[in-house]
Amino acid sequence: MPQPQPSDRQPVDGRAIAIMIVLCLIWGTQQSVVKAAAPLMSPTLQLGLRSAIAALGTLAVAAWRGETTWLSRATLGPGLLIGALFGLEFVFAGEALRLTSASHVTVYLYSAPVLIAVVLGITHRDERLRPDQWLGVLIAFAGVAVTFLGRGDPGHYPAMQLGDLLALAAAVAWAMTAVVLRGSRLADAPASITLFYQLVGAGIEATAMAAVLGETTIHPAARLFVALGWLILVVAFGSYLTWFALLRRYSAARLGVLSFMTPVFGVAAGIVVMGDRIDAGFALGATMILGGIVIATTGLSRRGRNSSAG
């Protein structure tokens, strides 16, 4: 997911909640959509092409809004860096989808928020974590360890643990993208510019990696075109711009909490669409990861709730 920019807006209302449910459903199902189309086009190539095409649409939106003046030397350096990191995220995620289940990729990928909270908590005084939030960090990391204790589904995915590690690497790349963005000139740039740099990086790196790995075979079919249309128009273009539009109006922290519905939808989609099998170890670990993320990023203790009010 593209990184949100700092925002201090109004609390979420029923309209925002409804939109966030739709967005989380879209984000949660995208791994299964990519996985379902994998026999027709490699996941890495899918993610590369969808990002490159969506970047053109995002540039058109920026031009229409008169925001392209932000494409300057001041933002080029950090833009290239977050583009490279965002591209790494999609390379790792694409290869992970070849080796492990869509459910696993979704859960591991969405461990990124706790990594972001840890790094920003150490490097920025205004982002320091409270003791209850550090507890959430420990719970989330323990959950990652627990998920690796499960047997997984070696019958379908012999290299499942390697795929899981690649999904975690994608989460690290996502977290690094957020940290770089937080301290760069792009923190003040329009969302369309940040998204453009990210999509360009992902488009170039993922497509190039697919070529290097020899994953360029395409089997044209209606299912593939539907999947690509969904990934380009709905996910990479429509949902991301909608997300940034929400951030302009509503509290970023509260929207962030709602976004944790995404891995829940992702696991459900993996089970329903791809027939993923979830063992007890992974289910327990995933629950710990999600619970830890919520605690680490929002602070669910009574003291945390009181201090954040007003």
The pLDDT of residue 170 is 95
The pLDDT of residue 283 is 85
- CA-CA distance, 217 to 188, in Å (whole number)? 41
Asked whether residue 178 is assigned to any structural domain, the reply reads yes
- CA-CA distance, 195 to 237, in Å (whole number)? 9
Average pLDDT over every residue of 72-85 = 92
What is the identity of the amino acid at 215? Answer: E
- CA-CA distance, 297 to 69, in Å (whole number)? 34
Structural domain span for residue 195: 20-308
Asked whether residue 7 is assigned to any structural domain, the reply reads no
The answer to whether the CB of 153 falls within 8 A of the CB of 277 is yes
Asked whether residue 13 is assigned to any structural domain, the reply reads no
- CA-CA distance, 132 to 166, in Å (whole number)? 29
Asked whether residue 171 is assigned to any structural domain, the reply reads yes
Asked whether residue 46 is assigned to any structural domain, the reply reads yes
Helical (H) or strand (E) element with 79: helix 73-99
Query: Domain total for the chain?
Result: 1
Asked whether residue 4 is assigned to any structural domain, the reply reads no
Asked whether residue 2 is assigned to any structural domain, the reply reads no
**pLDDT, tens only, 141-192:** 898 888 877 666 666 677 788 999 999 999 999 989 888 887 888 888 888 8
**pLDDT, tens only, 11-58:** 678 888 899 899 999 998 999 999 999 999 999 999 999 999 999 989
Asked whether residue 9 is assigned to any structural domain, the reply reads no
